[in-house]
Structure 1
Amino acid sequence: MAVEVARPPTRTGSPAIARRPRPVWPRVRHFLSFGAPGVLVYVCFVLAPIAVSVGYSLTNYNPFGPKTRFVGLSNYKDLFTDSEFLTSLKVTTILTLIVVIVPNVLGLGVALLLDRRGRLYVALRSVFFTPVVLSSVVVSIVWTRLLADDGLVDQALRGMGVAHPPGWLSDPSYALYSVGAILSWQMLGFCVVVYLAGLQGIPQELHEAAEIDGAGPIERFRKITWPLLAPALTINTIVMLITGFKAFDHIQVITNGGPGTGTTATIAFNVLQTGFNANRQGYASAMAIVMLIIVAIASAVALRILQKREVSL
């Protein structure tokens, strides 16, 4: 005789169990303990100076001039009819393109050569990274001596039979590209290290499988290495972009904005000259805000394009 087992009645449409809200104070206390110091530093040293600069840019502030008064967007309107500012914008754009392209291309090549085991390659990595940690002023002084008209570079060229070597820093046709080369040389090691980290993160099995399938070195680089280096390319491009736009130390020490008038004067250089030499701090603040907007837009566009490439891979 079968015995029927009683089943518990099913509850349909039972109201959801109400959950008690989590107390807010522990979360606030947790934020104040760990997040607030960092936020406070960011607000004091990043957001507050930007806000002050925006305020100054809307005035004719000059600590040694007439009484400060509100001028609205007048400084911004004057910028785009100021030939000196437009020239500095062109100079900054050219310098940034050099600093973005040259270290990335050469850094990738050097990283491919150093992506091997052995003490020699470890030592060479340190050699290439050394300029990155050197002071920009030290690097600038050394290269100023090397590229002077009587420096080692021109002496070597004369020894090779070049009667009239170019004036690397005294000729307006070469000065900007010479500064770009110096800045690229200093930042080359950064790109090398980032690309090396990306190369060492690629599984070796992928290369071995492609080699078994008959792919040559170029094909393996094009199909495996280069696509998987997309995150490294993103980091290097954004960092070099910002480095090029904010270049000041090298310009100040090597050429002081010359030779001539504004040949190598970047926006950052003009901001300091206008604000502290000409004491037009309201106008210089407007310049700095425009530079900040340009850098932010250029970085955001580059980041979006490069990250989209990463996702598509």
Structure 2
Amino acid sequence: MTIVEEGAVVRGGAAPGSKARTGRRSPWPGLRHFLSFGAPGLLVYACFVLAPILLSVGYSFTNANQFQPRTRFTGFENYIGLLTDDAFLTALKVTTILTLIVVIAPNLGGLAVALLLDRRGRLYYALRGVFFVPVVLSSVVVSVVWQAMLTDGGLVDTLLCTLGVTALPGWLSDPDLALYSVGFIMSWQMLGFCTVVYLAGLQGVPQELHEAAALDGAGSWLRFRKVTWPMLAPALTINTVMLLITGFKTYDHIQVLTAGGPGTGTTATVAFSIIQTGFTANRTGEASAMAILMLVIVAVISSVALRLLQRREEEL
């Protein structure tokens, strides 16, 4: 063993005052990192997502009621009752119609607006921001503004009267029209989201493909159908799945605009019925069964839609 000088590293052995390394590795090398970074997020997720779902599952098999202190196990009684309940089936029908409107209209409108704004220039950049503003606004704010505009004698009726229209429809008071008015408002709010996603997809289309198609004699429509539209498959997938979830969980627009009316349940969605059953009628067990049943429906439909759209992307 040779020592170079005072303070130098000792060759052939450990340095004075230092601990020799044993070479052992921790049996759980990632455990410390998980506890430091992953555990807090997982704990929050478990407390605010998993725990409420598990509690709802438990309540759904009981007759829990805030004014009935004795709670008993009822099995699948709540679920069987919902499948034969006309009010719940009507709410499910209303939710389905509203979801179809919210999925189709913003997708078509967003694609059209994205094609118009897919240009360079300050004006087009400013218009992109304008179209995206409704997305960042609260649904309650949007509903209040549109309610003031669509109410009888509101701004829309005033403009129609100015144009000479005498037979004014009840946008939110007509049972045959109220649901479609709500669908229009939600579609208007989500239009900017679809526009931004489609714009991102359009800017990812290689310009060389358009130039090659143009040299082959393809017109604008043929270039869109054969080049642009297949490249927008991922954007369509994102928009469709997001709009599906948005449509099925609609509550705040209904609460502000129509409160489930006009009439009895003409615009009451499943989410609206859950709140009314659980917090107004205090039938916690029945409301929990409705929530779990809706969770299963949304999960299945979203998974099927996602799988079909992803398969379409692979085929294209």
Amino acid paired to 1:155: T
Count of residues in correspondence between the two structures: 294
Describe how 1:1-313 pairs up with structure 2 within 5 A.
23-313=26-316
Report the Cα offset of residue 23 of structure 1: 4.3
Report the Cα offset of residue 311 of structure 1: 1.0
- Secondary structure at 1:271 match in 2: helix
Instruction: Supply the distance in 1 between the matched residues of 2:117 and 2:27 (Cα, whole angstroms).
Output: 53
Report the Cα offset of residue 208 of structure 1: 1.1
Report the Cα offset of residue 21 of structure 1: 11
Q: Cα deviation per residue 1:81-133 (whole Å; 9 max; x = unaligned)?
A: 11110000000000000000000000000000000000000100000000000
Runs of 4 or more above 6 Å deviation: none
Amino acid paired to 2:36: S
Q: Bigger shift: 21-30 or 252-261?
A: 21-30
- Secondary structure at 1:85 match in 2: helix
Report the Cα offset of residue 33 of structure 1: 2.1
Instruction: Supply the distance in 2 between the matched residues of 1:259 and 1:293 (Cα, whole angstroms).
Output: 29
Instruction: Supply the distance in 1 between the matched residues of 2:235 and 2:158 (Cα, whole angstroms).
Output: 39
Q: Bigger shift: 26-35 or 284-293?
A: 26-35
Q: Bigger shift: 21-30 or 216-225?
A: 21-30
Instruction: Supply the distance in 1 between the matched residues of 2:48 and 2:234 (Cα, whole angstroms).
Output: 29
Give the equivalent residue in structure 1 for 2:11.
none
Instruction: Supply the distance in 1 between the matched residues of 2:277 and 2:69 (Cα, whole angstroms).
Output: 16
TM-score (ref. length: structure 1): 0.92
Amino acid paired to 2:291: A
Instruction: Supply the distance in 1 between the matched residues of 2:172 and 2:117 (Cα, whole angstroms).
Output: 32
Q: Bigger shift: 150-159 or 29-38?
A: 29-38
Amino acid paired to 1:272: I
- Secondary structure at 1:235 match in 2: helix
Amino acid paired to 2:100: L
Amino acid paired to 1:94: I
Instruction: Supply the distance in 2 between the matched residues of 1:66 and 1:174 (Cα, whole angstroms).
Output: 42
Instruction: Supply the distance in 1 between the matched residues of 2:40 and 2:205 (Cα, whole angstroms).
Output: 38
Say what the alpha-carbon RMSD is for the aligned residues: 1.3
Stretches of structure 1 that go unaligned for 5 or more consecutive residues are: 1-19
Report the Cα offset of residue 34 of structure 1: 2.3
Amino acid paired to 2:62: T
Q: Bigger shift: 279-288 or 159-168?
A: 159-168
TM-score (ref. length: structure 2): 0.91
Q: Cα deviation per residue 1:32-60 (whole Å; 9 max; x = unaligned)?
A: 22222222222111111100100010111
Amino acid paired to 2:251: F
Q: Cα deviation per residue 1:182-217 (whole Å; 9 max; x = unaligned)?
A: 000001000000000111111111111111111111
